[in-house]
Amino acid sequence: MRFASPLVPARLIRRYKRFLADAALESGQVVSVHCPNPGAMLGLAEPGMRIWLEPVQGAGRKLPFGWRLVELGGGHLAGIDTAVPNRVVKEALAARAIPALAGYGTVLPEQRYATRSRVDFLLREPGLPDAYVEVKNVHLRRSGDWAEFPDCVTRRGARHLADLAAMVAAGHRAVMLYVVQRTDCARLRMAADLDPDYARGFAEARHRGVEMRSCDTRIGLDGVHLGVDLPVFGDS
């Protein structure tokens, strides 16, 4: 997934009201920008951090920039747009670039399933069981090379785990795909201290046959692309 416009460097002043942030451009101009992330963003929204903004235009756009990346230590980057993982996974599925799912030729996004949910992708191929794929954005890191999910309580996420387990019981494949949108992690675990119910739901869904998978991402100023598989663990 390539960014539509060249990114602009800035310094974060503050994030507020979940979807808004103020930033200082290199010229000194202060701008309000869209923050496409409703989560806690632990460690990624500290005042003074160097961030990268994408100029946005078009009808209905009230803000001149969208916040896309955060610079981390050691030359690493993190993507903060929670819509990006679905976009990069869609591209990878279309190119059959995810080995575990490469056998499927039909990719149907946003399909209704279970009782009141929509699965991110429903994959179909003659001779194979339907595969229900749910994608989660991951950008929490608190120690070592561990990525962690979630970064706050997510009842909706816990419901998705139960819905996927129900699909397995009905004879289908079900895959939870955690996309780590930062370049300084090499493995994933559940943040049970932040959401113990999700961690329990994760363990139960895995026991019931839901495939727990994770990929890292290659992040640059030109875009974000799906990377290699990462090992997935339960809580710490």
Q: What is the pLDDT of residues 108-145, one digit of tens each?
A: 999 999 878 899 999 999 999 999 999 999 999 999 99
Domain count across the chain:
2
Are 100 and 210 contained in the same domain?
A: yes
Q: Give CA–CA dist 50/47, Å, rounded.
A: 9
pLDDT confidence of residue 87: 97
- Sequence-distant (≥ 6) Cβ neighbours of residue 207 within 8 angstroms: none
Domain of 64, CATH number, reads 2.40.50.580
Asked whether the predicted pLDDT for residue 236 surpasses 60, the reply is no
Task: Determine, yes or no, domain membership for 76.
Answer: no
Cα torsion 187, 192, 193, 197: sign: positive
Are 98 and 166 contained in the same domain?
A: yes
Are 202 and 93 contained in the same domain?
A: yes
Are 144 and 89 contained in the same domain?
A: yes
- The pair phi, psi for residue 226, each rounded to 5°, is -65, 140
Q: Give CA–CA dist 110/67, Å, rounded.
A: 25
Tell me the whole-structure pTM to 2 decimals.
0.95
Write the pLDDT tens digit of every residue in 156-207.
999 999 999 999 999 999 999 999 999 999 999 999 999 999 999 999 999 9
pLDDT confidence of residue 120: 97
Domain of 221, CATH number, reads 3.40.1350.60
Task: Determine, yes or no, domain membership for 3.
Answer: no
Q: Could you write out the DSSP letters of every residue in 72-91? A: -GGG-EEE--TTHHHHHHHH
Q: How confident is the model at residue 235 (pLDDT cuts 50, 70, 90)?
A: low
Beta strand extents in the chain (DSSP E only): 8-16, 20-25, 30-34, 50-55, 65-71, 77-79, 106-113, 117-124, 131-138, 140-141, 146-149, 173-180, 187-190, 211-220, 223-230, 232-235
Range of the domain at 28: 8-71
Task: Determine, yes or no, domain membership for 201.
Answer: yes
Taking a C-beta distance cutoff of 8 angstroms, is the pair 229, 186 a contact? no
Q: Give CA–CA dist 51/72, Å, rounded.
A: 9
Write the pLDDT tens digit of every residue in 55-110.
997 666 789 999 999 999 899 999 999 999 999 999 999 999 999 999 999 999 99
pLDDT confidence of residue 234: 84
Residue 94 neighbours by CB distance under 10 Å: 10
Write the pLDDT tens digit of every residue in 32-59.
999 999 989 999 999 999 999 999 976 6
pLDDT confidence of residue 18: 86
Task: Determine, yes or no, domain membership for 1.
Answer: no
Q: Give CA–CA dist 59/120, Å, rounded.
A: 27
Are 29 and 133 contained in the same domain?
A: no
Are 159 and 186 contained in the same domain?
A: yes
Taking a C-beta distance cutoff of 8 angstroms, is the pair 208, 164 a contact? no
Are 167 and 200 contained in the same domain?
A: yes
Are 101 and 217 contained in the same domain?
A: yes
Q: Give CA–CA dist 54/69, Å, rounded.
A: 9
